[in-house]
């Protein structure tokens, strides 16, 4: 690690300046959230609230509480299952390459780059046919399918770094493909698991497009859609919006704050070379 | 390693169902979309009359789509550039060792946890020409702060200055990602190399140029792919922050597609736009995938 | 279809029935009516400047020039979502075409090169010289707010703005007041929230009951005072409605009723979204000839045959 003996002042100044740039939008978020509606005016965004009130939060919470639950109900199964599916898939594609495996893998990865708008209509039609349209399980299923490429990619890259000797040792003990996976590979998959978990949790929690298209009943909608719906069609209660946005951001924020270093560690462990 | 066919088959038993479903939901649907893009479907009721490529040609003639293509090009370049430069700068600062690294790192990373919708709403307020950042700057003495930000219809060589607002918001959100990638990469450089370079009398700038930058090149490349794919599909941010803008200065294919399909019911046109988007993405991703896999064989 | 049998209980003006019908059959029940051609203005600004709110488009430009000379923004516009400029255009067109020609424009019977329509388009282009510079960053609500805050003199917007003013504590007569949009007195541009019955509705009976409530006097009088709109029936209970709404109800009972362009009453969504696209460019380049050509092409494509 390099030591910058000269100019620690420059180093800290730059770091702090950037930190301020990253943080100052939060001022608007917090300031507006704590204003009563009568004070909310775009022309007064910088002006600190004169009578801070929890009005915005109260309103946002009573309206969004149920939707937050929906988001959790959706995100947790998706994250866990994505880890499972991704690790299994990534394992086969990294260590048990069959003929044409690379081509298939490339096609899988390409799937994560497609613009989702291009498949929305057939998606809805298909979900209807299998009875999953308009249901939270339909949304979960959708996220699992479209999350498969990135999960497979991350695990596959991670496993590719593992030396073959690890598996050979297991094979010598008479383990087959899944025996090796269960006994040897899976237990040491933690870094990749953390990355996939964090990535999926965040992107599924923040997803808007699939949620707004697939879930119609307000009682099932995740929080991202409910937040958008908080805005009346012609008039918007900004304090409620901002408070709602804060509430909606808390879970993912907490994940980044507490698991951020695992995220970087996981990237370090091999997913970096993408 | 020993890979008997029997074991491979067991592997395929699991992989095939997953992959098959994925392929239907990706490639099957894309084919459906492609088919619709060749029809005259314009309105709530489907109309599958075949019209060849006329939807595509019509699109290329419209002012909106032409602007979209230029916007995508410029936004992508600058968004990538800012994320990469800022990300590297921040990672370098942290790499040097700084007190409270965890705090700084969290601050730089946290915008990544927000949804583009939240970011869009925030920055729309911040860059609102009369009352946002301009007002703040005026309050502290810059009386000429009157750039229109995302309402500006000025441009240079088809580069709409309004895009700057989106570039700022998007980079604010994603620079943490490049920072994290670079930090991981920098930290994986063996310290012996650096030490011996220093012993040889290399100054800091020399070390950066000759050792650090080359070793993180694969990360830059990989980051460009991820950032590129975000920018080519951009929708939520533009939708929440600026809309298409006056004279489409902040319009993008993703936004155009959404509005024309789900508001205007112009299904064939929408499908044609999404086919164009797919093509753009393919142009960037396919060479990357090819080089990755060539490198492995 | 079903409705003609019970048509008696849709106690609405004939113009409204025309708008919600297709080929003689009623297809949806409007529970409320909002008015689009309203101009909100700041009594404070007008009083200080010694001017009166403009009744015609010519008056408007005279007033606007006077205000501009004093450094006051004459017209507030908040078109970040594009539709508010379409909303404004509709009123400006109505001013020069009058209600009959206006309706014919949307049925494709009148060409966009018609001299009255051209006058309207040119007026609109001229108006763009009198708006706030940050219009593309504001929503319609923000722009209406400018009037109540005294930052701009006038704003053309639907009557949900009244609801907004009241919730912000602004006082009618002091901070805000209204007249019909310049040149459109005598016309009532309507839009409405309405409910329909789909062909294979699974709960048909319940839907019918709901529609009966929507169409009933009690139902509409319960909903509308809170929503900030007026009933689609002509026999609403006046005492339940505030000052602005009573004024609107007076006009609704006597004016020529025309469908709103920007809010889906006059043209199909397909046509409207394309019109909004044209507006996005027209408000910036003010090129009337180009806009005329584009509007005409759209009318040719989407007007009912």
State the SS3 of B219-265: HHHHHHHHHHHHHHCCCHHHHHHCCCCHHHCCCCHHHHHHHHHHHCC
Residues 147-206 of A with CB under 8 A from B: 148-149, 164, 167-168, 171, 176-178, 202, 205-206
Residue with tokens 């062909």: C199
Residue C29 belongs to what H/E stretch? strand C28-30
Q: Give the CA distances from residue C110 to residues B108, C57, C107, C258, C303, in Å, rounded to whole numbers and listed in that order.
A: 59, 22, 8, 15, 11
| C76 CB-near residues (< 8 Å, 6+ apart) | C131, C132, C135, C138, C143, C144, C146, C147, C151, C152, C153, C154, C155
Q: Residue A108 CA to chain centroid, in angstroms?
A: 19
Q: Whole-angstrom Cα distance, residue C57 to residue C116?
A: 13
Question: How is residue C111 annotated by DSSP?
Answer: -
Average pLDDT estimate for C87-103: 94
CA distance C290 to chain B (A): 12
Q: What is the pTM of this model?
A: 0.83
End-to-end CA distance of chain A: 25
Give the tokens for residue C167. 């919730």
Averaged pLDDT, groups of 10, chain A, 274 residues long: 60 90 86 81 73 84 88 95 94 87 88 84 88 92 94 89 86 86 89 88 90 85 82 65 85 84 67 43
Q: Name the residue with higher pLDDT: C129 or B142.
A: C129
What ipTM was predicted for this assembly? Answer: 0.83
Q: Residue B77: its pLDDT value, please?
A: 94
> What is residue B201's three-state secondary structure?
coil
Cβ of A111 within 8 Å of Cβ of B22? The answer is: yes
Q: Which of C139, C140, C145 sits opposite A41 (nearest CB)?
A: C145
> What is residue B45's three-state secondary structure?
coil
Give the tokens for residue A103. 């081509």
Burial of A52 per CB tally in 10 Å (0-12, 13-18, 19+): middle
Residue pair C106/C100 in contact (Cβ under 8 Å)? The answer is no
Q: Give the CA distances from residue B85 to residues A271, B90, C116, C217, in Å, rounded to whole numbers and listed in that order.
A: 21, 9, 56, 65
A-chain residue closest to B114, CA distance: A249
* Nearest-5° Cα angle at C15, C10 to C16: 45
Cβ of B124 within 8 Å of Cβ of C269? The answer is: no
Touching check for C73 and chain A: CB below 8 Å? no
pLDDT at C135 over 80: yes
Cβ of C138 within 8 Å of Cβ of A42? The answer is: yes
Residues 67-126 of B with CB under 8 A from A: 86, 89-90, 93-98, 102, 104-118, 121-123, 125-126
Q: Residue C48: its pLDDT value, please?
A: 93
Q: Residue C11: its pLDDT value, please?
A: 65
pLDDT at C214 over 90: no
CA distance B122 to chain A (A): 7
Q: Which residues of chain B have pLDDT under 50?
A: none
Residue pair C75/C87 in contact (Cβ under 8 Å)? The answer is no
Touching check for A146 and chain B: CB below 8 Å? yes
Which pLDDT band, with edges at 50, 70 and 90, does C253 fall under?
A: confident
Q: Residue B239: its pLDDT value, please?
A: 85
Q: Whole-angstrom Cα distance, residue A239 to residue A28?
A: 10
Tell me which chain A residues have a C-beta less than 8 angstroms from the C-beta of C139. 236
Q: Residue A268: its pLDDT value, please?
A: 59
Q: Residue C187: its pLDDT value, please?
A: 92
Sign of the alpha-carbon dihedral angle for A253, A258, A261, A264: negative
Q: Name the residue with higher pLDDT: B288 or C93.
A: C93
Q: Residue B10: its pLDDT value, please?
A: 86
Q: Whole-angstrom Cα distance, residue C108 to residue C106?
A: 5
| B288 CB-near residues (< 8 Å, 6+ apart) | B221, B225
Cβ of C142 within 8 Å of Cβ of A42? The answer is: yes
Cβ of A15 within 8 Å of Cβ of B115? The answer is: no
Which pLDDT band, with edges at 50, 70 and 90, does C212 fall under?
A: confident
Q: Whole-angstrom Cα distance, residue A40 to residue A240?
A: 10
Long-range interactions of C221-226: CB distance < 8 A, separation 24+: C223/C31, C223/C32, C224/C31, C224/C32
Cβ of C163 within 8 Å of Cβ of A235? The answer is: yes
pLDDT at C12 over 90: no
Q: Which of A37, A41, A234 sits opposite C160 (nearest CB)?
A: A234
Q: Residue A1: its pLDDT value, please?
A: 41
Lowest mean pLDDT among B200-204, C169-173, C198-202, C251-255: C198-202
Residue B204 belongs to what H/E stretch? helix B204-207
Which pLDDT band, with edges at 50, 70 and 90, does C218 fall under?
A: confident
Count of CB atoms situated within 10 Å of the CB of A61: 15
């Amino acid at each position: 690690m390099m030591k910058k003996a000269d100019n620690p002042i420059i180093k800290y100044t730059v770091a702090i300046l950037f930190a301020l740039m990253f943080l100052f939008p939060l001022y608007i978020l917090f300031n507006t959230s704590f204003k009563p509606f009568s004070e909310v005016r775009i022309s007064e965004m910088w002006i600190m609230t004169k009578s801070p009130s929890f009005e915005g939060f109260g309103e946002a919470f009573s309206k969004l509480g149920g939707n937050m639950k929906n988001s959790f109900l959706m995100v947790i199964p998706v994250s866990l299952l994505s880890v499972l599916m991704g690790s299994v898939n990534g394992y086969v594609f990294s260590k048990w390459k069959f003929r044409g495996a690379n081509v298939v893998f490339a096609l899988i990865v390409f799937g994560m780059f497609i613009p989702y708008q291009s498949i929305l209509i057939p998606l809805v039609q298909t979900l209807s046919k299998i009875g999953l349209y308009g249901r939270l399980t339909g949304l979960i299923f959708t996220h699992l399918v479209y999350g498969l490429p990135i999960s497979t990619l991350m695990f596959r890259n991670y496993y590719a770094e593992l030396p073959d000797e690890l598996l050979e040792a297991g094979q010598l003990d008479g383990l087959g493909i899944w025996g090796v996976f269960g006994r040897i590979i899976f237990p040491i998959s933690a870094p990749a698991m953390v990355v996939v978990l964090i990535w999926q949790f965040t992107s599924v929690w923040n997803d808007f497009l699939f949620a707004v298209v697939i879930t119609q009943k307000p009682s099932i909608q995740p929080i991202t859609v409910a937040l958008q719906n908080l805005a009346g069609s012609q008039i918007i209660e900004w304090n409620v919006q901002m408070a709602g946005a804060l509430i909606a951001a808390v879970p993912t924020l907490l994940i980044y704050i507490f698991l951020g270093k695992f995220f970087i560690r996981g990237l370090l462990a091999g997913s970096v070379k993408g | 390693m020993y890979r008997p066919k029997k074991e491979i088959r067991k592997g395929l038993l699991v992989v095939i169902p997953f992959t098959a479903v994925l392929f239907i939901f990706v490639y099957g649907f894309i084919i459906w979309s492609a088919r619709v893009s060749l029809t005259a479907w314009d309105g709530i009721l489907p109309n599958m009359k075949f019209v060849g490529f006329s939807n595509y040609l019509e699109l290329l003639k419209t002012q909106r789509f032409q602007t979209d293509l230029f916007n995508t090009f410029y936004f992508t370049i600058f968004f990538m550039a800012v994320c990469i430069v800022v990300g590297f700068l921040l990672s370098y600062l942290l790499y040097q060792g700084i007190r409270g690294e965890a705090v700084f790192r969290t601050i730089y990373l946290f915008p990544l946890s927000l949804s583009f919708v939240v970011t869009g709403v925030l920055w729309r307020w911040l860059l609102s020409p009369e009352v946002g950042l301009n007002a703040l700057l005026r309050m502290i003495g810059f009386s000429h702060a009157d750039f229109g930000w995302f309402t500006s219809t000025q441009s240079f060589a088809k580069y709409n200055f309004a895009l700057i607002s989106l570039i700022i918001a998007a980079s604010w959100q994603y620079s943490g990602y490049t920072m994290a990638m670079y930090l991981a990469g920098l930290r994986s450089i063996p310290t012996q190399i650096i030490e011996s370079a220093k012993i040889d009398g290399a100054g800091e700038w020399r070390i950066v140029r000759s050792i650090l930058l080359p070793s993180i090149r694969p990360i830059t490349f990989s980051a460009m792919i991820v950032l590129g794919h975000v920018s080519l599909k951009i929708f939520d941010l533009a939708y929440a922050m600026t809309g298409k803008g006056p004279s489409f200065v902040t319009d993008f294919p993703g936004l155009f597609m959404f509005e024309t399909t789900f508001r205007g019911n112009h299904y064939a046109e929408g499908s044609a736009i999404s086919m164009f988007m797919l093509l753009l993405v393919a142009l960037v991703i396919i060479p990357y995938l090819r080089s990755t896999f060539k490198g492995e064989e | 279809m079903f409705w003609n049998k019970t048509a008696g209980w849709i106690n609405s003006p004939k113009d409204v029935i025309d708008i919600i019908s297709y080929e003689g059959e009623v297809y949806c029940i409007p529970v409320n009516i909002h008015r689009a051609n309203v101009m909100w203005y700041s009594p404070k600004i007008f009083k200080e400047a010694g001017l009166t709110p403009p009744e015609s488009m010519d008056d408007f430009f005279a007033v606007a020039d006077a205000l501009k000379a004093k450094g006051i923004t004459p017209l507030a516009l908040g078109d970040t979502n594009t539709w508010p400029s379409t909303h404004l255009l509709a009123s400006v067109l109505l001013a020069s075409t009058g209600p009959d020609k206006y309706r014919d424009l949307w049925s494709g019977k009148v060409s966009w090169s018609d001299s009255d329509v051209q006058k309207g388009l040119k007026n609109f282009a001229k108006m763009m010289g009198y708006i706030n510079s940050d219009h593309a960053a504001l929503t319609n609500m923000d722009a209406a707010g400018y009037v109540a805050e005294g930052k701009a003199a006038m704003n053309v917007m639907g009557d949900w703005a009244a609801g907004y003013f009241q919730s912000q504590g602004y006082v009618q007569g002091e901070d805000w007041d209204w007249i019909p949009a310049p040149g459109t007195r005598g016309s009532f541009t309507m839009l409405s929230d309405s409910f329909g019955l789909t062909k294979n509705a699974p709960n048909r009976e319940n839907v019918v009951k709901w529609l009966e409530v929507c169409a009933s006097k009690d139902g509409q009088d319960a909903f509308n005072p809170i929503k900030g709109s007026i009933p689609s029936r002509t026999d609403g209970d006046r005492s339940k409605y505030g000052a602005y709404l009573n004024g609107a109800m007076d006009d609704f009972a006597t004016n020529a009723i025309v469908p709103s362009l920007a809010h889906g009453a006059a043209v199909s969504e397909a046509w409207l979204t394309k019109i909004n696209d044209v507006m996005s460019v027209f408000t910036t380049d003010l090129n009337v000839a180009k806009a005329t050509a584009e509007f005409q092409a759209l009318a040719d494509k989407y007007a009912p045959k």
